């Protein structure tokens, strides 16, 4: 087994650091990981094919947060391509059961993950609920929409992980409703340090079909980007909030 695969398959890793004749052990918590390398490569290939992920280092996109970015991801596009949405649905279903056991309920995070979450629930033969960013201002003032009983085991489906803040608000809402949240799965993650820290603080396990590093490998291999553009994309990920400012 390669060192790379070992790194991706564990939740806790330790390594020895030697400095000035002294040594100490530091523990790194990995709260997020891809399900496996093959799935991550295939996911990257499909998302690039249908322009669900666009890479444009020369003309950066502006996110809602105001960040400038050489990448833009809209995984809702996958719903318009039956073979691709079926692939995502089946990979999610297989890995959810393997990693978490079969839950009682699948929850989608509104609005981006409602569609794919419902497909996963249907494929697994499970009830589905979705979680609003905040409670409605009228009617029953629900934040969790659908039938959910206290104590039920729930796996949350998300389409995209950036900082993780909005995703974890959905987890908070489900817990407030009495659910036992087993973990979260997502189609793609940028792999930001802040996201890793947020999921660690919340003690929520995250698994994704694809990630940023594998995406870049596939983008270079399939000639979506040049080696020079690859370096730009790597630099952006180091400090996305200040890049190109």
The pLDDT of residue 2 is: 41
pLDDT computed for residue 67 by the predictor: 87
> In this prediction, what percent of the chain has a pLDDT beyond 70?
87
Query: Which burial class, exposed, middle or buried, applies to 74 when counting CB atoms under 10 A from its CB (0-12, 13-18, 19+)?
Result: middle
pLDDT of residue 45: 98
Query: CA–CA separation, 90 vs 56, rounded Å?
Result: 30
Q: Is-contact 105 68, C-beta < 8 A?
A: no
Q: What pLDDT does 136 receive?
A: 78
pLDDT mean across residues, the chain: 87
Q: Which of 107-121, 132-146, 160-174 has the lowest mean pLDDT?
A: 132-146
Take residue 164 and report the two structure tokens written for it: 């993780």
What's the pTM value of the predicted model, to 2 decimals? 0.85
The tens digit of pLDDT for each residue in 90-113 reads 999 999 999 999 999 999 999 999
> Which among 168, 173, 117, 169 has a CA at the least distance from the CA of 148?
173
More confident site: 68 or 7: 68
């Amino acid at each position: 087994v390669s060192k790379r695969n070992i790194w991706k398959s564990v939740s806790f890793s330790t390594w020895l650091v030697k400095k000035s004749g002294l040594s100490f052990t530091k523990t790194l918590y990995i709260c997020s990981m891809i399900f496996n390398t093959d799935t991550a490569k295939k996911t990257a290939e499909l998302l690039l094919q249908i322009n669900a992920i666009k890479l444009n280092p020369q003309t950066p996109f502006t996110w809602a947060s105001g960040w400038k970015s050489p990448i833009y991801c809209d995984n809702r596009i996958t719903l318009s391509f039956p073979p691709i949405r079926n692939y995502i649905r089946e990979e999610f279903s297989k890995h959810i059961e393997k990693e978490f056991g079969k839950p009682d309920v699948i929850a989608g995070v509104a609005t981006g993950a409602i569609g794919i979450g419902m497909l996963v629930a249907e494929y697994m033969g499970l009830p589905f609920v979705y979680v609003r960013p905040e409670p409605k201002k009228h009617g029953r003032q629900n934040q969790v929409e659908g039938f959910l009983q206290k104590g039920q085991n729930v796996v949350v489906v998300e389409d995209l992980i950036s900082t993780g803040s909005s995703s974890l608000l959905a987890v908070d809402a489900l817990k407030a409703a009495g659910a036992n949240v087993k973990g979260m799965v997502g189609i793609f993650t940028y792999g930001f340090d802040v996201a890793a820290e947020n999921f660690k603080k919340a003690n929520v396990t995250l698994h994704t079909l694809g990630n940023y590093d594998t995406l870049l490998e596939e983008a270079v291999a399939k000639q979506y980007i040049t080696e020079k553009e690859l370096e730009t994309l790597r630099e952006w990920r180091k400090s996305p909030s200040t890049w190109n400012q």
